[in-house]
Amino acid sequence: MNVRKDFTILKQSVKGQPLIYFDNAATSQKPQCVIDELNSYYSHYNSNVHRGVHYLSQLATEKYEQARVVVQQFINAQYDREIVFTKGTTDGINLVANAWGLENLGEGDEVLISAMEHHSNIVPWQMICQKTAAKLVVAPIDETGELIIAEFEKLVSSKTKLVSITHISNTLGTINPVDKLIEIAHKNNAKVLIDGAQSVPHLNIDVQQMNCDFFVFSGHKLFAPTGTGVLYVKEDRYKEMSPYQGGGDMIKDVAFEKTTYNSPPHKFEAGTPNIAGFIGLKSAIEYVQKIGLNNIYSYEQNLHNFAFDEMSKISEIRFIGTASNKASVISFLVGKTHPFDLGTLLDQLGIAIRTGHHCTQPLMDLYKIPGTARASFCFYNSEKEIEFFIKALKRCIKMLAA
């Protein structure tokens, strides 16, 4: 893929070696077009949205709302009003937990998540369950890191009000069969939230076809600025939600006696948003669309399979997460070496991988490990980088054995 030229950051050396960035599941790098868009906003039309009659404000508002339409089309939502701009996946889940959860959960109700969830799809539900006396239920996974569908099915009942599940595990790389899970949940009248933080940068998303009730993702994993995120709300769900935060923009009229709210999505976007960030998100999506998500997916699958095959030849490596349907994320351990030590050694060779629990501590407890080393690939990575990484891994293993 001829995309390296678009990412200035990848041209640098780290510790005297060309940077190899394999921490894409944590955050992705930004193409020049996104950086230029931020520069253009701040240089030419920095202004607040939805408030001014003046030229700059109107231009900023137009571009900001265009971003909403681009997001709508990108995930194939039916209406642009179904797109709520947030700070990220975490913010989106907290919004649903508070705006929908507080209204619709009570004693005897259940929220079903899975054993592979990121903390941001666990803790908000624990907090809401505490407030509403609802129960948090966890669907189990098998040793390969796949959700056990039969067990999931058994856990969905008339008590289940919401299933909140990740599309792709950030630690294991498992791609969950979300269409099937949504069908099972809906048969039982449960609503479904899909955490798309790890899927949106790699897979075509069609929320209408998926038929989820909520879908969340972060801009920064999709080559857009940090502090941007999207919450898709199926239109019917809006009537079950109350505003989560009060302030400017989310109101129609305010008097000391009574306030009337704006209509969605603005009702859920109190305060000045990350205007430049969302304009950058529009540019990032257009960039991804130009390459094509199908091309991205197959290129990254090849990278993953190449790396996985090469790593499999190293006897000291143990993989954590070997699901049959997997994204370009490889979590692993090397003998008894602590992942931090391995990460530090690889850093000396200019290779950035992730080490630790990846905000999935309950999953680490399940595997009885403190954490993993994780390499996650993106379309701007290459087989050549993986070859260097494999050599570096072998070198580290030798050093650790010495």
Measured from the CB atom, is 22 or 45 closer to ligand PLP?
22
Find all residues with CB under 8 Å of 318, minimum gap 6, and list them.
332, 333, 334
**Among 166, 228, 372, 381, interactor with ligand PLP by CB under 6 A:** 166
| Closest distance of CB 376 from ligand PLP, Å | 10
Beta bridge partners of 160: 110
Structure tokens at 298: 């197959």
| Closest distance of CB 135 from ligand PLP, Å | 22
| Closest distance of CB 227 from ligand PLP, Å | 9
Measured from the CB atom, is 159 or 357 closer to ligand PLP?
357
Residues in binding contact with ligand PLP, number by CB under 6 A? 13
Find all residues with CB under 8 Å of 25, minimum gap 6, and list them.
170, 198, 221, 329, 354, 358, 374, 376
Nearest to 213 by CA among 12, 77, 391: 77
Amino acid at site 158: S
Residue 271 phi, psi (nearest 5): 85, 170
| Closest distance of CB 380 from ligand PLP, Å | 19
| Closest distance of CB 197 from ligand PLP, Å | 4
* Binding to ligand PLP, residues 59-98 (CB under 6 A): 88-90
Measured from the CB atom, is 119 or 338 closer to ligand PLP?
119
Say whether residue 372 binds ligand PLP (CB under 6 A): no
| Closest distance of CB 58 from ligand PLP, Å | 31
Helix, strand or coil, per DSSP, at residue 49? coil
Instruction: Judge contact between 121 and 164, C-beta under 8 A.
Output: yes
Say whether residue 328 binds ligand PLP (CB under 6 A): no
Say whether residue 277 binds ligand PLP (CB under 6 A): no
Say whether residue 176 binds ligand PLP (CB under 6 A): no
- Residue 350 to residues 14, 253, 347, 353, 371: CA-CA distances in angstroms? 5, 55, 5, 10, 21
Residue 108-137 contact track with ligand PLP, rule CB under 6 A, x = bound: ----------x-xx----------------
Beta bridge partners of 261: 251
| Closest distance of CB 237 from ligand PLP, Å | 20
Marked catalytic residue, from 33, 129, 212, 359: 359
Find all residues with CB under 8 Å of 37, minimum gap 6, and list them.
276, 279, 280, 282, 283
Say whether residue 197 binds ligand PLP (CB under 6 A): yes
Helix, strand or coil, per DSSP, at residue 134? coil
Measured from the CB atom, is 45 or 125 closer to ligand PLP?
125
Measured from the CB atom, is 296 or 393 closer to ligand PLP?
296
Measured from the CB atom, is 40 or 226 closer to ligand PLP?
226
Find all residues with CB under 8 Å of 131, minimum gap 6, and list them.
102
Per the annotation, the verdict on 359 as an active-site residue is yes
Measured from the CB atom, is 195 or 310 closer to ligand PLP?
195
Nearest to 176 by CA among 153, 148, 202: 148
Query: How many C-alpha atoms does 42 have within 13 Å on its Cβ side?
Result: 9
Say whether residue 192 binds ligand PLP (CB under 6 A): no
**Among 24, 218, 262, 355, interactor with ligand PLP by CB under 6 A:** 218
Instruction: Judge contact between 90 and 116, C-beta under 8 A.
Output: no
**Among 110, 195, 213, 269, interactor with ligand PLP by CB under 6 A:** 195
Report the interface residues with ligand PLP, using CB under 6 A.
88-90, 118, 120-121, 166, 170, 195, 197-198, 218, 220
- Residues labelled as active-site residues: 359
